[in-house]
Structures are given as C-alpha cells and as structure tokens.
Amino acid sequence: MEATLETAASQPAVTAEAPPAQFNFAAHLFRLNATRAGKTAYIDDNGATTYGELEERARRFASALRTLGVHPEERILLVMLDSIALPVAFLGALYAGVVPVVANTLLTSADYVYMLTHSHARAVIASGALLPNVTQALDSAEHDGCQLIVSQPCEGDPRTVPVFEALIEAAAPAVKSASTGCDDIAFWLYSSGSTGKPKGTVHTHANLYWTAELYAKPILGIVESDVVFSAAKLFFAYGLGNGLTFPLSVGATAILMAERPTADAIFARLVKHRPTVFYGVPTLYANMLVSPNLPARADVAMRVCTSAGEALPREIGERFTAHFGCEILDGIGSTEMLHIFLSNRVGAVEYGTTGRPVPGYEVELRDDAGHAVPDGDVGDLYIKGPSAAVMYWNNREKSRATFLGEWIRSGDKYCRLPNGCYVYAGRSDDMLKVSGQYVSPVEVEMVLVQHNAVLEAAVVGVDHGGLVKTRAFVVLKQEFAASEILAEELKAFVKDRLAPHKYPRDIVFVDDLPKTATGKIQRFKLREQS
C-alpha cells in the first residue's frame, strides 16, 4: 500500500510505502535484517553484537517479560546507559507489546519517583552504575510491586534482584510478536524539561517507521555500509532515531558509548571506529573545534553530520566543514514529532538556518491569532506529519494545548526567508519584549558567539524597574578572562551588528550554562538566578 503525504507548497510531493495496519516495529526490523544475521549491528564499550544475536536476545527478553507477569500495554521504565543491553530491552519490549519508557540517566531519585508513579511502571531496568538513584526512588515511590531488574551490575553488589542478562539466558525466544497495529502505543519518551516538569510523550509503532522513511533515508542518505555514532543518547528522541531506528532500518552498524560525550570521548570513537555518520549538538561541535586534541581530517571518515537541540551558529558550521570537509545538517525535531522535520540538505547547506521542511511534513508559521505570517516575520511554528505523538500521558491540559487536530504547536518561534529556509528565533516562552519590540534571545546569542572570546552564550530577560532588559550569560574560551572591559566590548560588538534595543544591558560571565541532557539551554533556570 502506498500513502501520499501532503507537504509544504515549496516541497515536492512524497510517496512512501505505508506500513500495514497490523504492524510491530521490532518484528519489522527483524524481518528487514533476516539476511544480515552475521553482520555487526552494535559496538559498545564492552564488545559487539550481530543482527542475529540482537534479534535472539530481544525475543528472549520478550519471553522473560511474560514470565515476569508484565502484560502487553503495561509500562516498563528503562534507566540504562547506552550499551547493547538498551536496544535489546527496547526491542524486546516492543516485540512483546509492552511499552518501554526510556528515561534520562542523569536525573535525581526524585525525578524517577515521579516517572515511576506517573507511568505505573511494572518493572524498571537499571544499569548497575545507576542503581543508587533508582533503588532510592523505588523505596520512595508509591507503586504496586514494580520489579527491579539490574543490567550489568556493579562488581560485588549484594542486591538479590533479577539480573537482565540472566533473565535473557534463561528464556526461550518468543516465537511470535504481539499482535500490534500501526496506531498501538509502542513507547514513551519524557520531554527534556527545558521549560519545567517533563511530560510523558506517547508514540506508536508506526511513528518510528516514518522517521526512518522520511528523514534518515532521503535526507541523510543512510545505507547499509554506514557506521553511525550519536553523541546524543538513546534516552531522548534525537538519539533514539540516530542510534536505533535509523541504522537498524537499513542494516548499518551503530556505535554506542556509555560515558558522557566530552570532546575527547567523541574523538576516540571517531578515530577508532571511523563512523561515516555523526550526530551531535551545537555545544559539542563548539567544544570539539576549540580542543587541542581535534583530529585531522585524514584520521576520521565522516561523510555527513547532523545537529539538533539548539540552533547551530553559522561560524561553528563553517569552521567544522573547513576542517573536516563534511557538512553539518542543522535541523529541528521534537519529542512530540520524534525526530527532525526541518533540515538542511547535503550539498545545499545554508549555515545560520534550519533549512527547509523535510518532505512528508508540513510546517506553518502563525501569529497569536492563528493567521499565517509573511516571509521575514516571526511566527509560532506548527507542524503536521505522520510521526506525531498521540498525547501527553495523563495530562489533558497540556495535550489540548499542543496537539491540535492534525497539527502540533511546537512552542518554537521561526521566520521564513524568501528562499524558503527557516531561521530559529527561540522558544515562544523565551521571547522578550524590549522597548515595545520583540527580541529573539537566539538572535543575540548567535551574534555573541561570533566574538573570538565567546564559547557559548544564553540571553534572558530581567526586570529593571518594571521594564524588561536583556542579560547575557557568557561562557568564555579558556584563553580569555572575564573583565569589565571585555563585557563592554561584547555589548558594543552586538550593538554594531543588531538594532540598538537588542544589545544585552548586562553581561554575566559563567563557567557553564544549565542544559538538559539533550543539550538545550534551560533559560528558565537562568531567569530564576536573575
């Protein structure tokens, strides 16, 4: 069956093979890779696994879930570092019709208490290194017999809980997948919390399929021979597509890394495993470029890179391409849309923009009254496409405000250039009104990072005697020191490049900026400090 998807007027129509009504995404992947049983699917910090081994272990885990009394449509919480065990658990749960809820591994026990209670999880699988926060959460949360399963336990840990690997070894592979459909709930992801408490975003089996068909294959051009590596972790939407959905949809090999994605950790994998596709975020690209350990172009094999989470500064993209000879495709996605729906294209990158709509998605910019805004004006970004989430679990108020029929209100501000490219203006709740005129914090930040001394910047509004003024929090490069002279120089630097009312009235030098695990700046925390 074929489905023709409507797109923005400037985009060609896209015809894609739609999945059948009865559809299980894990079973779909296993069928696709049936002839690749001996090919390496994943390489992590401890070894590698083939496509055949991945399928067998996932199907064994599906059986183990049934033995543990976890039924289809019930939730399990995955608090797991990026290793081969995580795709096994995720795909095994999908195969069994159980709903995996992939959680940020950097949270506090209080956050896990919220997730356990909110999701009514029947089991939680935790990497051994993350046990303290998880066990504390289980002791504090109100739950009905949520079972703890430990993956790769710490040596000498005395806990007598089921061990993930042992459960898999003891189970026979499930013969058949659960009878799920395209629109059945497959998994949840909690939003990153860039604007407050995270929301349980509910996705279907077909949503995973569409991100691969509409973005990974036509935009990235991902193929079986690729080796992919994502600095973004599997626990959020960008990383889940990068490191699981996309490579497994074409039979590629994916590199997984448990540790924090520092520049040096990234360099080690780029040189050792020579991935051809690399997925990063703007902060990481900036840190890579200023590192004294930056590899030479000849030492890596990247053919294309991507960026998401925050707008990629033009200077960072241009410097990266000049050094490595490959482009960064800056794009925007969301937990609600599962992956990127606006993106630059290989060979047609326009740094400083988020590119054009991904064919298969429609985007509109609207004013406060819901009317379309003309090119050059800033408007609220709305998206329509087949990978849209169903709802926020148990949050009707937020669901009604975000999911508007076929459309999703993103909460982002954009303007469209006459050439059809979109330029990010910031989150709707981050926009500032200074001297009666709107100021995009992102626009000011993009200018600040052009200064030779600035590594990162974030701009917020603060109250000055009842009037809103802009304050910039600035992270300097290592070779520069904070001073009043430099602060005045930065103000003048912005004044020379933007309208006078947009320059930051205050400059605050900081060691780092508060961010979500996805790399998004938490401006609300900076406002709280002001």
Most confident range (mean pLDDT) of 5-19, 148-162, 239-253, 431-445 is: 239-253
Please check whether residue 6 lies inside any domain of the structure. Answer: no
- DSSP annotation of 429 reads G
Q: How confident is the model at residue 295 (pLDDT cuts 50, 70, 90)?
A: very high
Q: What is the CATH number of the domain that holds 306?
A: 3.40.50.12780
Q: 3-class secondary structure for 312-343?
A: CCHHHHHHHHHHHCCCEEEEEECCCCCCEEEE
Q: Is residue 12 part of a domain?
A: no
- pLDDT over 70 at 251, yes or no: yes
Domain presence at residue 351: yes
d(CA 237, CA 403): 18
Please tell me whether residues 385 and 456 are part of one structural domain. no
Say if residue 468 is in the same domain as residue 409: no
Number of domains in the chain: 2
- pLDDT exceeds cutoff 60 at 321: yes
Residue 8 included in any domain? no
Residue 390, pLDDT above cutoff 80:
yes
* Residues 361 and 474 grouped into a single domain: no
Average pLDDT over all residues of the chain: 92
Domain final residue, candidates 372, 391, 416 = 416
Percent of the chain with pLDDT over 70: 92
Q: What is the spatial distance between Cα 434 and Cα 165, in angstroms, rounded to a whole number?
A: 57
**DSSP 3-state of 246:** helix
Query: What CATH number corresponds to the domain at position 467?
Result: 3.30.300.30
- Backbone φ, ψ for residue 308 (5° rounding): -160, 180
Residue pLDDT, tens place only, 256-272: 999 999 999 999 999 99
Q: How far apart are CA 42 and CA 57, in angstroms?
A: 13
Whether pLDDT at 91 is above 60 = yes
Is residue 125 located within the same domain as residue 241? Answer: yes
Same domain, 137 and 212: yes
Residue 421 lies in a domain: no
At 2, the pLDDT band (50, 70, 90 cuts) reads very low
Q: What is the pLDDT of residue 156?
A: 55
Q: What range defines the domain where residue 36 resides?
A: 25-416
Question: Is the domain of 157 the same as that of 106?
Answer: yes
Both 401 and 283 in one domain: the answer is yes
Domain end point (choices 385, 416, 447): 416
Q: Do residues 142 and 241 share a domain?
A: yes
Q: What is the spatial distance between Cα 12 and Cα 4, in angstroms, rounded to a whole number?
A: 11
* Other CB atoms within 10 A of residue 357 CB: 22
Residue 209's pLDDT band (boundaries 50, 70, 90)? very high
Residues 402, 481, single domain; the answer is no
Instruction: Count CB-CB contacts under 10 A for residue 124.
Output: 28
> What mean pLDDT do residues 223-249 have?
97
User: Does residue 13 fall inside a structural domain?
Assistant: no
Task: Decide if 510 is inside a domain.
Answer: yes
462: pLDDT confidence band, cut at 50, 70 and 90? Answer: confident
User: Mean of the pLDDT values across residues 59-65?
Assistant: 98
Kindly give the interhelix angle for 25-32 and 85-96, rounded to the nearest 10 degrees: 120
If asked whether residues 489 and 411 sit together in one domain, one would say no
Per-residue tokens: 98:
């159980």
Chain segment 480-526, per-residue pLDDT in tens: 999 999 999 999 999 999 877 789 999 999 999 998 766 678 888 88
Residue 196 lies in a domain: yes
**Angstrom distance (rounded) from CA 151 to CA 173:** 19
Note every long-range contact of 289-296, with CB atoms under 8 Å and residues 24 or more positions apart, other chains counting: 289/316, 289/319, 289/320, 289/323, 290/455, 290/477, 290/478, 291/263, 291/264, 291/267, 293/263, 293/264, 293/267, 294/263, 294/267, 294/323, 295/267, 295/270, 295/271
Question: Looking at the structure, do residues 393 and 463 belong to the same domain, yes or no?
Answer: no
Whether residue 155 has pLDDT greater than 70 = no
Which of 416, 445, 476 represents a domain boundary (last residue)? Answer: 416
Report the C-alpha gap between 82 and 337 in whole angstroms: 22
Residues 111, 154 share a domain = yes
